[in-house]
A and B are shown apart, each in its own frame.
Chain A
């Protein structure tokens, strides 16, 4: 069974040979293959080569068409700070509070900034032999909104002028949609929606439900129309209060972070055919031993053995500086696991 079929069946809660393992390896692929993060984020071709080489080494089921998380803000004129050895970061938001979001054009993913590099990456990953599942990535509307204006400014706007804030959120959702649809057109099997700013640690669950949820729902509908094999919502932090909403928003896969205990969560997901992906602690790949990672992976596999609908993964991105033995331990444990998926 190839990786694409394995993931398809797992998401559909159908029987398959083993639980898929999707290590959230982005720039770690560069570090593990002897390139720098700077090289990785500056070229779609280099980043794709790193992804393919890392997958060949570790043996996990998916590659990621992802460079870093500043692309959209950069494409809109935001200031980006670069420093050797770390990801670029947004140093100056592209907009001020009084910007006219309703009239601001959405950047074209085929021409704006480094967005085309991600499309090139998706295409190269899909064309490569080996049958890996190709995961694209867009940042969700709330996450882009706080990047576009700055966290404090965006949250203040949400409180002081909700109508203007919704204009910003709609503009951000349009940016996510255009970028995701373009990634799907170039070959990504799905476009993961990364929405950490929607976490209950940032905004209350009611805010997520009423303001962010409807925009995510539209995004997922659009991605499905564009051919996504599934939809995947990734929100970090303590997401237990909002996880039961994911399925109704149209997400087939839900990441759950290391701080979300799966045992109490599962009864709340009864009747929700949402596939869970998680939740080895990301920093454990830097600080723990391979034995500890293997034990944690095995604990998760045992826990989900009867339910199925589970993808072995980390709670969030595997840090670039992670120990290779630790990533290998998670993948090896998942592949060797003798349990069955229902």
Chain B
């Protein structure tokens, strides 16, 4: 592996935005293709971040800084639309009506983008119907909802059936965030409850691999 790619991985994990972009510039000048920088740099950094951020060590500050560096690198590599090519799947993220705390969603969005998922952000304080509409429009494979306050629990419980009602019963529903992670998947009527944003990414990666394996 190119030692400069190793330096990029370290810079990204440490959240050094300017240094990361600088290294990417050097790698491009050296003739490396953007796609190789993604697989050899960004994806390895995301994996390294995942290992570093066990449930006990997960903290928003470090994740946010690393995510900020990853997004700067993606913007440098793909200035047209700031998303990675050849996405693994489309994922809708949302904070449901009644809750306007969206830092958890922002973190998840960054991790998903860095892991080659195409993210459709529904925003915060959105009704279940808007989420269903976004899934229909984007043909997303999954929905991730983040909830900091307990009053959103009743709405989360209705999401799966609202999707089924729209003929989207095979769309996976994931939940996380301070309030929702206290619940079981059965209580929330969702497919999965993640303790951290990385759990959600791992779940979605496994889901994609399983679907590819079935083809």
Contact = CB atoms under 8 A, between A and B. Distances in A.
Nearest to A286: B150
Interface string A152-184: 100110110000000000000000000000000
B100 A155 contact: no
B27 interface: no
A255 to B, nearest CB: 15
Contact of B150 (A85, A207, A282): A282
A236 B183 CA distance: 16
A335 B68 CA distance: 51
Contact of B15 (A81, A83, A159, A319): A159
B129 interface: no
Nearest to B152: A86
A286 B57 CA distance: 29
A83 B61 contact: no
A287 B187 contact: yes
B179 A204 contact: no
Contacts of A102: none
A203 B100 CA distance: 21
B182 interface: yes
Nearest to A81: B100
Band of interface residues on A: 20 to 34
Interface residues of B, number: 28
Interface string B90-104: 000000001111010
B145 to A, nearest CB: 15
A238 B56 contact: yes
Contacts of A152: 64, 103, 106
A85 B101 contact: no
Interface string B50-64: 000001111111101
A321 interface: yes
B182 A282 contact: yes
B103 to A, nearest CB: 4
A155 B61 contact: yes
B35 to A, nearest CB: 29
Nearest to B104: A151
Contact of A320 (B151, B182, B183): B151
Q: Which of A83, A158, A258 has the most CB of B within 10 A?
A: A83
A331 B128 CA distance: 37
Contact of A283 (B59, B125, B179): B179
A204 B187 CA distance: 32
B152 to A, nearest CB: 9
Given A203-B60, A281-B182, 13 more contacts: A89-B101, A151-B60, A151-B103, A152-B64, A156-B64, A201-B58, A202-B60, A203-B61, A207-B61, A283-B150, A283-B153, A286-B153, A319-B151
7 contacts: A156-B68, A202-B61, A203-B59, A203-B60, A207-B61, A238-B55, A282-B150
